[in-house]
Amino acid sequence: MGIDSILGASQTPPGAQPAAQPAATAITEEYLETIYNITMEGEPVIGARLAQKFRVAPPTVTETLKRLTRDGYIEMDSKRQISLTPLGVERAEAVLRRHRLTERFLVDMLGMQWHQVHEEACRLEHYISGAVEARVLAALHQPTTCPHGNPIPGAVPNARTYLSDLGAQRLLHTTPGEPHAIVCVSEVVEDEEGLISYLHDRGLTPGTQVTLATEPPTRDLHSAAAAEATVELCAGDDHMLTVPVRVAYALWVTSAG
């Protein structure tokens, strides 16, 4: 079912121009969301990373970044690293709040599984009004995170520093043998359905206790060795798993000791 079917297609009077489609706004919001999330996780944001994320050619990213700069949403330093302006943060948090609330609504009220809702939320997030947002917040009793464990802006003291405030770190960077609890799945990879389904099938969900059982062969996700590398985990009730290093990198955890 398309978005028009869900919300009701608008009626355009004869002879009138059709209402402008929100495609440009949606693209802007998706870029701002991604820049926000990468920054929140302590990674530098550069054009090449965005091209890889959105699966587009570098010139496409360059043109979009020029528009975002012109509109006052982003700034670039001398190294071409990208950061959000206060206006960019405000806009990113607004759409992330709608996205994460929509995911919560789909899971808590419609009974969808947590690994099935990201794409649905991406389709709906650009169309939710402030009135609907307020109703969802009230109906769900003011949730603070999405089903993947990421903070809902406005529902936590500071969504940008949420991970550091909790003392969270990537599972890949923890010490083998020390127990941890999963806080969230990296928002940066939530659109990768295969990875999210992989986590779901193995019970690697927020709240699950997990421990690195072996020293990872590499802790650098961007190294050549990382592509095929695996690491041993102990999850839940002593359930042993062998997972790609990339999976351990995508899980944020806090100490459970």
Q: What is the pLDDT of residues 82-96, one digit of tens each?
A: 999 999 999 999 999
* Segment among 26-30, 98-102, 116-120, 191-195 with least mean pLDDT: 191-195
CA dist., res. 166 & res. 16, Å (int): 53
- Check residue 96 and give its pLDDT: 94
Say if residue 4's pLDDT is above 70: no
For residues 150 and 6, what is the distance between their CA atoms, to the nearest angstrom? Answer: 26
Asked whether the beta carbons of 80 and 91 are under 8 A apart, the reply is no
- What is the reported pLDDT for 11? 39
The pLDDT tens digits for 96-105 are 999 999 999 9
What are the residues whose beta carbons fall under 8 Å from the beta carbon of 153, sequence distance 6 or more?
A: 93, 94, 96, 97, 100, 159
User: Where are the chain's structural domains?
Assistant: 21-155, 167-255
157 Cβ contact partners less than 8 Å away, ≥ 6 residues apart: 165
Report domain 167-255's class. mainly beta
152 pLDDT higher than 60? yes
Cβ-contact 210, 251 below 8 angstroms: yes
Average pLDDT, whole number, for the chain? 87
Is 139 buried (19+), middle (13-18) or exposed (0-12) by CB count in 10 A?
A: middle
Q: What average pLDDT does the segment 166-195 reach? A: 93
β-bridge mates for residue 235, sequence order: 210, 239
- Which top CATH class is 21-155? mainly alpha
pLDDT digits (tens, 9 = 90+) for 51-70: 999 999 999 999 999 999 99
Greater confidence (257 vs 68) lies with 68
pLDDT at residue 156 tops 80: yes
Tell me the C-alpha distance between 234 and 111, whole Å. 29
244: left (phi over 0), alpha (psi -120 to 50) or beta: beta
Q: Torsion angle, CA of 248/250/256/257, rounded to 10 degrees?
A: 50
DSSP-based three-state secondary structure for 15? coil
Give the contacts of 133 (CB within 8 A, at least 6 positions apart).
97, 98, 101
pLDDT at 26: 86
- Of 162, 174, 151, 91, the C-alpha closest to 125 is 91
pTM metric for this prediction: 0.85
Cβ distance 58 to 48 under 8 Å? yes
